[in-house]
Structure 1
Amino acid sequence: MLLCFSSSHRTADFDLLERLERHAPAITAALSEHSDIVSGSVVLATCNRFEAYLDIDEPLPAARAVSTEAVLDAVSTAAGIDPDLLRGASAVYSDHAVAEHLFAVTSGLESVVVGEGEIAGQVRRALDAARRDGSVTSELERLFQVASRTSRGVKNRTGIMTAGRSLVRLALDLAESRVTDWAMTRVLLVGTGKYAGASLAALRDRGVTDVRVYSPSGRAAKFALSHDIAPVEADGLLDALAESDLVVTCSAVTDYVLTRPLLAEAVARPDATERRLVVDLGLPRNVDPAVGELAGVELLDLETISIHAPLTELQAADDARTIVDAAAAEYRARTAEQEVTPALVALRTHVFDILDAEIERARRRGDGSEQTEAALRHLAGVLLHTPSVRARELAREGDAESFIAGAAAVFGIDVDVDAERARPRLTAVDDESAAS
């Protein structure tokens, strides 16, 4: 059974999301310790959502509530968040709803900025991390692969994921009214990861040419060289802050990069600019919220940015949702087909075992020929075709049990089905009785 724990900008405030993101490694480890329930996991942590996609061993509906509570308790304990608070700020999806939710997330339909371009890559990197940790099951692998294909379909067939739809660009749109001339704006970029590259591209699209980069982890020189901008070393940070009109932070560090005392010292310098805008795109926050209390400093953080997220282009969103719904329906259908796969395998094994036994008898009597054997095997395949097609049709209609029961009644095949992990088990059939 698939289960998804989700806490996002739709259900939780950014303080809680920040705490979840900060404790993501501990939560991942805590989930892996529940090996009696969780057989696999993929954890997705972005600036506006924290989600754990889980493959649960126990498929019985009666055990779903128990599994859900166990997962919530594990997340709550690892993150140090009150269980009731966490429960009220999250959603839990199970079974087929997990696929529909992930497909929508990967396609940008659940983002702060609907259709934003970064999420597909973030989902892909979450899967890669889970692969490295060895926590991906075959079912989770299939789920995420279909999600990736669905996202590409949305991107190629609708206008919702056009270039530039992102939190970075939304933040700069909000900054537009505070900037007199982008070409004259002096920018300090803090961070050297994916968001830093996207931020730099968005700034250049607006005509910004004066950009310097600072890295708390010491990667500024390498990033600056590859992006043709100037690096700022640790001993030059105060000067850079004092001279910058716009500071954009998007670092992955877990502590504040810009504290109130640090920025207050920079602002107090005689040659400091009178006003500056600080845009904090980090989660956890890169900037102490108290920075916004300083005279001449305005702070835009993720929570403020999300409040001003624009309405979506309705037609594009509707088209994307149609693609996602179709992909989810097909995923449900293919998952349902897996319920009859053990019975089909058992039926084919049953028929071909009988056929092999009869061919062996004919060989011992000297009656067999290669042409006859080939014809018989072809005939068996033809006879099995219709039951195979009908089995999958019944499964897609939610009636897989009819085929399983029919195979047992007609052919004496007993299939032990244990949810998605079913394995066939044949009832022994005497060769002589089968031949009669």
Structure 2
Amino acid sequence: MLLCLTANHRNASFDILEKLSVGAPSAAGGLVAGTTGVSGAVVLATCNRFEAYLEVDEPVASADSSAVDATVDAMSAASGVSAAELRDSVTVITGDAVVEHLFSVSAGLESVVIGEDEISGQVRRALEQARSAGTTSSGLEQLFQRASTTSRTVKTTTAVGTAGRSLVRLALELASSRVTDWTQARVLMIGTGSYAGASHAALRDRGADDITVYSPSGRAAKFALSRGIRPTTDLAAAIAAADVIVSCTIVEGHILTADLLAGSERTLVIDLGLPRNVDPAVAELAGIELLDLETISLHAPLEELNATTEARSVVGQAAAAFAAAEAEQSLAPAVVALRRHIFDLLDAEIDRARGRGDSSPQTEAALRHLASVLLHTPSVRARELVRAGEAQAFTDGLAALFGIDAGPTATIAAIAAIAGERQELA
């Protein structure tokens, strides 16, 4: 069963999200290895959300379960957020609702800026990190891969995200009321990751040309060379020369402090980092204006209703198809049990025919064809009942008509064997 614990810009403070983004992702390995019933975990940590996706062995009907408790405790220990505070800040989603939620997140429909560009890549990287850590599972692999496919479908078939909207672009829109002419602005970028790439593109679109980049990890020269901008290793000098500073790294600790910015005049600082790159005390300095994620999120535009409605329809259809496919797999043991029952009868009848001296290939072929005809309608009905949410009716019917126990006893090998027999009968 799928389970998701989500803390995001709607139900948690940025202080909590910041702490979770630093420590909690590393807790997934211990959660999977040390928690009975948790077979997989993928952690998604972005600038405005933290989510733990789990595959658990037992059904979870509510937020009160051992898997939820174990996840809260593990993430609490790793992040420094108290278990009580974390439990108050997360929403627990279970079952099929997890599918639609992740698809919606990956499509950018749950972001601060509806349709943001970066989130789909972050979802993809979350899965890659889980693979590297050995915490993913077959169910989570299928879920996240389908989420990426759905995100691409939303982007190519709806108007959501066509303008390349993102937190970066929203931040620059807000900053434009303070920057009279971007072509004359001296811009310092701090960071060389994916957000830095998006920041550079958005700055160019605004007309900014005088751009310097600084990297805490020493990658400024490589980043600058590919983009035709200036690298620097002297942060203090670059700060003193800048009109606008855009900081977007994932390093821990404050890169920009009040001491570094003391004496700067008329400087706009945009902090896109999580954890925060800028000490909040910077906002108290004369001549410094600070735009951080919390401030930016307060100015997020209203959803474009038509485009968003269309996108949510695409997400809903994809989630329903995924859930139906998963449900069909859950009914596989019942279908296998019916086919095995029919094949056993078939084999017994062929043996009796041979015992009577009737071993002609024509007789055996006729009996196998009859078995195929008899199985066709029940197989079709099984899929129809699953998609209608009435799978139990199929298993109840098998028990009432044939006395078949359709419990989850079929192995993958048995299912594969039956699939092979069906191909032979076709």
Residue of structure 1 in register with 2:371 after alignment: 380
Give the Cα–Cα distance (whole angstroms) in 1 for the partners of residues 153 and 161 of structure 2.
10
Give the Cα–Cα distance (whole angstroms) in 2 for the partners of residues 380 and 172 of structure 1.
68
- The answer to whether the Cα contact below 8 Å between 1:339 and 1:422 also exists between their aligned partners in 2 is no
Q: Which of the numbers 405, 409, 421 marks the counterpart of 2:400?
A: 409
Worse overlay, 43-52 or 58-67: 58-67
Unaligned stretches of 5+ in structure 1? 269-273, 426-436
Deviations 1:100-136 (A, max 9, x none): 2111111111000011111111111111111222222
Residue of structure 1 in register with 2:190 after alignment: 190
Q: Is residue 2:324 matched to residue 1:333?
A: yes
Worse overlay, 380-389 or 197-206: 380-389
Residue of structure 1 in register with 2:239 after alignment: 241
Q: Which amino acid aligns with 1:186?
A: R
In structure 2, do the counterparts of structure 1 residues 254 and 421 end up closer, same or farther at CA, with 3 Å as the change threshold? farther
Give the Cα–Cα distance (whole angstroms) in 2 for the partners of residues 393 and 408 of structure 1.
19
Give the Cα–Cα distance (whole angstroms) in 2 for the partners of residues 95 and 255 of structure 1.
38
Give the Cα–Cα distance (whole angstroms) in 2 for the partners of residues 135 and 64 of structure 1.
23
Task: Summarize the alignment of residues 109-258 of structure 1 with structure 2, pairs less than 5 Å apart.
Answer: 109-233=109-233, 236-258=234-256
DSSP-derived class of the 1:177 partner: coil
Residue of structure 2 in register with 1:263 after alignment: 261
Give the Cα–Cα distance (whole angstroms) in 1 for the partners of residues 135 and 357 of structure 2.
55
Residue of structure 2 in register with 1:29 after alignment: 29
Give the Cα–Cα distance (whole angstroms) in 2 for the partners of residues 373 and 353 of structure 1.
14
- The answer to whether the Cα contact below 8 Å between 1:185 and 1:245 also exists between their aligned partners in 2 is yes
Q: Give the C-alpha shift of residue 160 in structure 1.
A: 1.0
Residue of structure 2 in register with 1:319 after alignment: 310
Q: Give the C-alpha shift of residue 293 in structure 1.
A: 1.4
Worse overlay, 315-324 or 47-56: 315-324
Deviations 1:46-96 (A, max 9, x none): 010000000011126489633322322222222221222112211110111
Give the Cα–Cα distance (whole angstroms) in 2 for the partners of residues 132 and 217 of structure 1.
22
Aligned alpha-carbon RMSD (Å): 2.3
In structure 2, do the counterparts of structure 1 residues 421 and 318 end up closer, same or farther at CA, with 3 Å as the change threshold? farther
Give the Cα–Cα distance (whole angstroms) in 2 for the partners of residues 81 and 50 of structure 1.
13
How many residue pairs end up in the alignment? 415
Residue of structure 2 in register with 1:431 after alignment: none
Task: Summarize the alignment of residues 36-75 of structure 1 with structure 2, pairs less than 5 Å apart.
Answer: 36-59=36-59, 61=61, 65-75=65-75
In structure 2, do the counterparts of structure 1 residues 178 and 63 end up closer, same or farther at CA, with 3 Å as the change threshold? closer
Give the Cα–Cα distance (whole angstroms) in 1 for the partners of residues 397 and 412 of structure 2.
17
Worse overlay, 50-59 or 69-78: 69-78
Give the Cα–Cα distance (whole angstroms) in 2 for the partners of residues 99 and 201 of structure 1.
32
Give the Cα–Cα distance (whole angstroms) in 2 for the partners of residues 81 and 423 of structure 1.
45
Deviations 1:128-158 (A, max 9, x none): 1112222222211222222222212211221
- The percentage of aligned residue pairs carrying the same residue is 61
Give the Cα–Cα distance (whole angstroms) in 1 for the partners of residues 120 and 349 of structure 2.
55
In structure 2, do the counterparts of structure 1 residues 251 and 63 end up closer, same or farther at CA, with 3 Å as the change threshold? closer
DSSP-derived class of the 2:176 partner: helix
DSSP-derived class of the 2:273 partner: coil
Give the Cα–Cα distance (whole angstroms) in 2 for the partners of residues 229 and 357 of structure 1.
80
Give the Cα–Cα distance (whole angstroms) in 2 for the partners of residues 223 and 397 of structure 1.
53
Q: Give the C-alpha shift of residue 203 in structure 1.
A: 0.4
Residue of structure 1 in register with 2:281 after alignment: 290
Give the Cα–Cα distance (whole angstroms) in 1 for the partners of residues 204 and 130 of structure 2.
35
DSSP-derived class of the 1:23 partner: helix
- The answer to whether the Cα contact below 8 Å between 1:342 and 1:423 also exists between their aligned partners in 2 is no
In structure 2, do the counterparts of structure 1 residues 245 and 358 end up closer, same or farther at CA, with 3 Å as the change threshold? same
Residue of structure 2 in register with 1:352 after alignment: 343
DSSP-derived class of the 1:150 partner: helix
In structure 2, do the counterparts of structure 1 residues 62 and 110 end up closer, same or farther at CA, with 3 Å as the change threshold? closer
TM-score, length of structure 2 as denominator length: 0.91
Q: Give the C-alpha shift of residue 282 in structure 1.
A: 0.4
Q: Which amino acid aligns with 2:10?
A: R
In structure 2, do the counterparts of structure 1 residues 384 and 64 end up closer, same or farther at CA, with 3 Å as the change threshold? farther
Worse overlay, 371-380 or 296-305: 371-380
Deviations 1:170-224 (A, max 9, x none): 0000000111111111111111110011000000011111111111011111111
Unaligned stretches of 5+ in structure 2? 416-426
In structure 2, do the counterparts of structure 1 residues 89 and 421 end up closer, same or farther at CA, with 3 Å as the change threshold? farther
- The answer to whether the Cα contact below 8 Å between 2:192 and 2:219 also exists between their aligned partners in 1 is yes
Q: Which amino acid aligns with 1:149?
A: T
In structure 2, do the counterparts of structure 1 residues 401 and 138 end up closer, same or farther at CA, with 3 Å as the change threshold? same
Give the Cα–Cα distance (whole angstroms) in 1 for the partners of residues 371 and 204 of structure 2.
67
Give the Cα–Cα distance (whole angstroms) in 2 for the partners of residues 208 and 283 of structure 1.
24
Give the Cα–Cα distance (whole angstroms) in 1 for the partners of residues 380 and 75 of structure 2.
43
- The answer to whether the Cα contact below 8 Å between 2:8 and 2:49 also exists between their aligned partners in 1 is yes
Give the Cα–Cα distance (whole angstroms) in 2 for the partners of residues 30 and 12 of structure 1.
24
Give the Cα–Cα distance (whole angstroms) in 2 for the partners of residues 81 and 144 of structure 1.
27
Q: Which amino acid aligns with 1:120?
A: S
Q: Give the C-alpha shift of residue 404 in structure 1.
A: 1.3
Give the Cα–Cα distance (whole angstroms) in 1 for the partners of residues 126 and 413 of structure 2.
30
Q: Which amino acid aligns with 2:370?
A: L
Q: Which amino acid aligns with 1:11?
A: N
- The answer to whether the Cα contact below 8 Å between 1:244 and 1:276 also exists between their aligned partners in 2 is yes
Give the Cα–Cα distance (whole angstroms) in 2 for the partners of residues 25 and 2 of structure 1.
18
Worse overlay, 210-219 or 405-414: 405-414
Q: Which amino acid aligns with 1:224?
A: A
- The answer to whether the Cα contact below 8 Å between 1:248 and 1:280 also exists between their aligned partners in 2 is yes
Q: Which amino acid aligns with 1:311?
A: L
In structure 2, do the counterparts of structure 1 residues 63 and 254 end up closer, same or farther at CA, with 3 Å as the change threshold? closer
Residue of structure 2 in register with 1:98 after alignment: 98
Q: Which amino acid aligns with 1:81?
A: V
Q: Give the C-alpha shift of residue 287 in structure 1.
A: 0.9
In structure 2, do the counterparts of structure 1 residues 387 and 369 end up closer, same or farther at CA, with 3 Å as the change threshold? same
Give the Cα–Cα distance (whole angstroms) in 1 for the partners of residues 68 and 322 of structure 2.
23
Give the Cα–Cα distance (whole angstroms) in 2 for the partners of residues 241 and 46 of structure 1.
27
